Amino acid sequence: MLDRLLDLLFPPKCVFCHSLLDEDDSKRGICSSCYEKVMPSVHLFEGEFFDRGAAAYIYSGNIRESLHRFKFGGRKEYASVYADLLIKSFGDSPLITEADVIVSVPTNRFNLRKRGYDHTGLLAHRLAEKSGKDYLNVLSKTRRTRPMFGLKPNERKANILGSIEVRSHAEQIGGKTVLLTDDIFTTGATASECARVLKQAGAEKVFVITVAKTEKSY
Ligand SMILES: [Zn+2]
């Protein structure tokens, strides 16, 4: 009942092109046209401290706008749609099959309050549910960092260094293969810093999956 009321007030729209969805398409959150055109793929990336990394999309066009709505436009329900797409791309890959636990890149408290939800945490949570893994909320920010946008790679690294910590229940990641999730992979500064502290806390391997990666290589 509530679902139907919400659908009337906020009719479901395609996560990519934002067109209205019919009943069939609303289950997957993607219109038929985008479902054919905007297929997830495998875009590998590398960085310090993590062992493997891949994104399902290149960060451009509708993907970019979609992720922007997810991060800044209140569209927290996109987490579930993205998780399905990540499973479609990586469900059979060691990135997911070998992972023991799934964690997410932490959001600082200021952004969390402004946004009202932890978008990367939601994504990791949905991915864990759909892949039958455990989600662990083990990473947190120790201080505020400057927005990464517009910073050069070395500035990004300096900005993030020492700003992330593993919470006290670190024993749950000791000797484990940890899958770290984030929305966008840019230079890898954040993913590398998360991987560094996870390994310091005993993680055996760290894999990284993101919804998209930027096209530009740094
Ligand atoms: Zn669409």
Instruction: For residues 188 and 148, give the distance between their C-alpha atoms in angstroms, rounded to a whole number.
Output: 11
pLDDT at position 14, please? 96
CA–centroid distance, residue 201 to ligand 1 (Å)? 42
Instruction: For residues 171 and 75, give the distance between their C-alpha atoms in angstroms, rounded to a whole number.
Output: 34
CA–centroid distance, residue 213 to ligand 1 (Å)? 20
What domain range is 148 assigned to? 40-213
Higher pLDDT, 218 or 23: 23
Q: Has residue 162 been placed in a domain? A: yes
3-class state of residue 96 by DSSP: helix
Residues with CB under 5 A from ligand 1 (ion): 14, 16-17, 31, 34
Count of alpha carbons within 13 angstroms of residue 22, beta-carbon side = 3
Residues 136, 163, single domain; the answer is yes
Residues 87, 10, single domain; the answer is no
CATH code, domain carrying 179: 3.40.50.2020
Residues 81, 20, single domain; the answer is no
pTM of structure: 0.91
CA–centroid distance, residue 82 to ligand 1 (Å)? 14
CA 7, distance to chain mean position in Å, is 26
Over 80: is that where the pLDDT of 217 sits?
A: no
pLDDT at position 100, please? 96
Q: Has residue 218 been placed in a domain? A: no
Total domains in the fold of the chain? 2
Instruction: For residues 79 and 125, give the distance between their C-alpha atoms in angstroms, rounded to a whole number.
Output: 9
